[in-house]
Amino acid sequence: MKTLLSIDGGGVRGIIPATILQFLEKKLQEFDGPDARIADYFDIIAGTSTGGLITAMLTAPNDKKRPLFAAKDITPFYLENCPSFFPPPKKGISGCLRTQYTVWTGPKYSGDFLHSTVRRLCGDRRLHETLTNIVIPTYDIHLQQPIIFSSFAARRDELKDALLSDVCIGTSAAPTYLPAHCFKTEDSGDKTRSCSFNLIDGGVAANNPTLLAMNHAMQEPIIPNPNILLSKPSIDDWPLEPLDLKENESSKFLVLSLGTGHNVDRYKATDAAKWGRSRWLLNGGNPPIIDIFMQSSADMVDIHASALFKGSNKHNYIRIQEPELSDDRSSMDLSTEENLNGLKMIGRKLLDKPFSEVNIESGHYEEVRGKYAMTNRDVLTRFAKELSAEKMLRELILRRIQL
């Protein structure tokens, strides 16, 4: 099996998948001990925007070659830092005027605190150093095309081995919210070789990176990282064939896709019919066009993935998503204490909601009924058991090879 984790973009709403991941890691620790971490169980972790930041936090190594963050530490990180990432506007008429002026003349936020925090956390770590394979999409506005950063490409070409901090800043540079990000990579052995990137939020291309992760899994041989296996094998010891996917067989995947919530009733056609450019693009600092194209991108990927896994392999693909956010909760940048704690509670309540799957025809989430009816908590517990069993199987294969 190839095990994949995908995390959507969504700004402060990253608290929702962070809460889900905390539960999943706790279950893995119940099965395999207190040192178990998310990165130990997934061949590929993909994340866009805020999901890209979570991906880096879960996979960047500390001095002991273990993840910088346990899953339980991500939500407190968001609660502590989001008010500084997205500071609320000053109150009163002057504050309102300043907000409107900022919206018209530049990005809503400077990004200074976000950038400095990300650089402090990631340090000089690069893509090839992550504890498991990662995939993070961005969009290059100079080339006018998506740029997909991955640890696979980083190991092959030094020009693609960017700093994790630059990748995180680039993938989270949401248009109108945060400034675009420019950086350059160089070949240490050949100074004439360099590559410049001019990046904005990966959500404009793949707000839900599930299919990107699957695409890489189909094209790349997956070699378990020696740092996360008990028997510490040599890379040469691992047989590629059992994990080398020759064709698109969904039975060989075990996929968990985490959304950041969705509000289906935020806008009405009767209102939008009267909007001009300023309303579509600005709307008091909450541009509808950004919400719409990022959410539509995520939903289309979910529909395609569900179609790929239909039939006997449908339970190899798990999508956990909150489909009904209120206006405040659906904001990507509302960093009040009340809203951040509210998102945390949504994540917790989501665990006890009935497991739902997208209806491929309507696009709506529908509760799974009958013999497969479970809560999201039950589904994740079962998923954790499958991840633990897969890891144990790999250990047995390696030990057999070494004997």
Token output for 189: 């052995």
For residue 350, give the nearest of 20, 3, 103 by alpha carbon.
20
| Residue 250 annotated among the catalytic residues of the structure | no
One of 43, 140, 201, 291 is an active-site residue; which one? Answer: 201
- 184 burial via Cβ count (<10 Å: 0-12, 13-18, 19+): exposed
Q: Quote the CA–CA distance of 208 and 260 in Å, as a whole number.
A: 10
Both tokens assigned to 390: 């897969």
List the catalytic residue out of 6, 49, 151, 257.
49
3-state secondary structure of 169: helix
**Could you tell me which of 340, 331, 335, 304 has the C-alpha nearest to residue 319?**
304
Calpha distance 52→139 (Å, rounded): 13
Determine whether 356 is an active site residue: no
CA 380 to chain centre: 17
Q: Which residue in this structure is represented by tokens 């019919």?
A: 273
Give CA–CA dist 384/29, Å, rounded.
Answer: 9
Written as six digits, the tokens of 367 are 């509760």
CA-to-CA dists, residue 69 to 66, 172, 382, angstroms: 9, 19, 24
The closest alpha carbon to 206, from 264, 141, 151, 139, belongs to 139
Residue that is written with structure tokens 């709506």 in the block: 364
State the burial class of residue 69 (Cβ atoms within 10 Å of its Cβ: 0-12, 13-18, 19+). buried
Burial of 17 per CB tally in 10 Å (0-12, 13-18, 19+): buried
What SS3 class is residue 183? strand
Please give, one letter per residue, the 3-state secondary structure of 38-77: HHHCCCEEEECCHHHHHHHHHHCECCCCCECCCHHHHHHH
Show the tokens assigned to 363: 């696009």
First to last CA, the chain: 23
Identify any residues that bridge with 396 across adjacent strands, giving them in sequence order: none
Whole-angstrom Cα distance, residue 60 to residue 66?
Answer: 8
Catalytic residues: 49, 201
